[in-house]
Amino acid sequence: MPKTDDDALGPALERRLRRELNRVQPRFSSPRYASAAHPRVRTWRLAPVALGVSLVSILALSAFVATGSANPVVWTQRVVTVIDSNPPPTSEPSPAQPKAAPPAGAAHTPEHQAPATSEPREGSETPEPGRTPEPTESPEPSDSHSGSDGAGDSSHGSPAPIDH
Amino acid sequence: MPALADLDSEAYEPGSREDFDRLYRTAYPRVYRTLAAILGDREAAEDCVQDAFVQAFQAWKRWRPDAPAEAWVHRIAVNRAISYRRSAKLRQIGEVVRRLGRPVHPADPADIAAQGDLLTALRSLPPKLAAAIVLRHYHGYNNREIAAALGVSERTVGTRLRQAGERLRAVLQPSFSLDAAGAFPSDQRELYAED
């Protein structure tokens, strides 16, 4: 290889430089680049594990926020109660049938039976607070044919005049 | 000492692991000696060369064979050595402050034995000048290859070689004049103080 004209050192100094540098023997250690290539592979292998851990932590955090408890047992109880509160789809149709049946002839009975069981509700739901006490009293006499209250009174009173 | 063109006679394929291993086996001792001359510290030279090969390996797929592969690794390694020397100066300042009043530990005898006067003088030069000297006068690079190795123009290489020669002569003048008096017969006029 021909050198250009920039030979700053003479031949003597050049020989000396070679002699001194040839005395420097490199220690052949294992190439660092060979071991540096592994960490990337390891990190990619660990990626699915990191993904799974992050998913579990997100789920745990959301469960903690939903239940307000850090106890996993509480989370499972919460799930059970949510599932138990939803099954009714099978029991809903059966109450619908009794509601459909009454209109035929027993229109009065549901109305009268319902106040008997839920008197305070109806009383509270009535828009006119002045009449609230009345529905509570009316069902009891209604069992003895409430539609003819005046007639009943006259019938009770009628024997007397008849006796007269 | 084989020339750079001979070492690169077999073409390297960018990205090939086998070719990089071959480059490592061929270029490691040469790059190591270059950095040993620049840094004057075997462990630091080894560390920097290993770092340079790690960096080169990461960029091996992007390497373009328009310049010799060893010159490309040399460029990375010299830049690494420059950074090392820069940080070493800062560390030295901290060490001096910390060791004020304490006895100084003697240097490693192996390093002292391996370092001749010339290597000590090379270490006193700026790294880019020392690298130009070693690449030219030890590895036999021409100006184009040195330019590729240092990332400068060939004209700059000529300037650096001239400056490095003048500074080396100035440093080595007392001892060198005894055993090689006729080495520099004409150029004795410009002397530079040691860094």
Length of chain A: 164
Q: Test B137 with A13 for CB contact under 8 angstroms.
A: yes
Selected residue with higher pLDDT from A95 and B77: B77
Of A16, A24, A32, the CB nearest to B114: A24
| CA distance, residue A58 to nearest chain B CA (Å) | 35
3-state secondary structure of B167: helix
**Local confidence pLDDT in tens for the 195 residues of chain B:** 555 545 554 688 898 999 999 999 999 999 999 999 999 888 999 999 999 999 999 999 998 888 889 999 999 999 999 999 888 878 777 767 776 666 655 555 555 444 568 888 888 899 999 999 999 999 999 999 999 889 999 999 999 999 999 888 888 876 554 444 444 444 444 444 444
How confident is the model at residue A37, as a pLDDT? 60
Instruction: Identify the residue among B8, B25, B28, B33 best suited for mutation to test binding to A, counting A beta carbons within 10 A and taking the highest.
Output: B33
Instruction: Quote ipTM for the complex.
Output: 0.71
Among all chains, which residue has been given the structure tokens 């420097």?
A24
Q: Give the CB-side neighbour count of residue B49, counting CA atoms within 13 A.
A: 29
Q: Test A17 with B134 for CB contact under 8 angstroms.
A: yes
Task: List Cβ<8 Å contacts ≥24 apart for B62-65.
Answer: B62/B14, B63/B12, B63/B14, B64/B14, B65/B11, B65/B12, B65/B14
Q: Which two tokens stand for residue A125?
A: 């739901």
Name the pTM for this structure.
Answer: 0.54
Q: Test B136 with A20 for CB contact under 8 angstroms.
A: no
Q: What is the DSSP code (8-state) at residue B187?
A: -
Q: Test A33 with B114 for CB contact under 8 angstroms.
A: no
Of B142, B176, B184, the CB nearest to A2: B142
How confident is the model at residue A42, as a pLDDT? 60
Q: Test A8 with B3 for CB contact under 8 angstroms.
A: no
Of B53, B137, B143, the CB nearest to A17: B137
Among all chains, which residue has been given the structure tokens 């009174």?
A153
Residue A133, judged by CB atoms within 10 A of its CB (0-12, 13-18, 19+), counts as exposed
Cα A34–A40–A46 angle (5° rounding)?
135
B183 to chain A: closest CA residue? A10
Instruction: Identify the residue among A24, A27, A38, A40 best suited for mutation to test binding to B, counting B beta carbons within 10 A and taking the highest.
Output: A24
Q: Test B168 with A8 for CB contact under 8 angstroms.
A: yes
- Model pLDDT for residues A20-74, shown as the tens digit of each residue: 899 888 877 788 888 866 555 566 777 888 899 999 999 989 988 888 888 888 8
Q: Which residues of chain B neighbour A9 with C-beta distances below 8 Å?
A: 133, 137, 165, 168, 183
Of B4, B118, B182, the CB nearest to A17: B118
Q: Which residues of chain A neighbour B58 with C-beta distances below 8 Å?
A: 33
Of A1, A18, A27, the CB nearest to B5: A1
Interface of A with B in 21-40 (CB under 8 A): 21, 23-24, 26-29, 31-33, 36-37
Of B21, B28, B184, the CB nearest to A26: B28
Average pLDDT in chain A: 64
| CA distance, residue B90 to nearest chain A CA (Å) | 26
Q: Confidence class of residue A105 from pLDDT cuts 50, 70 and 90? A: very low
B165/B186 Cα distance (integer angstroms): 13
What is the DSSP secondary-structure string of B35-96?
Answer: HHHHH--HHHHHHHHHHHHHHHHHTGGG--TTS-HHHHHHHHHHHHHHHHHHHHHHHHHHHH
B192/B119 Cα distance (integer angstroms): 18
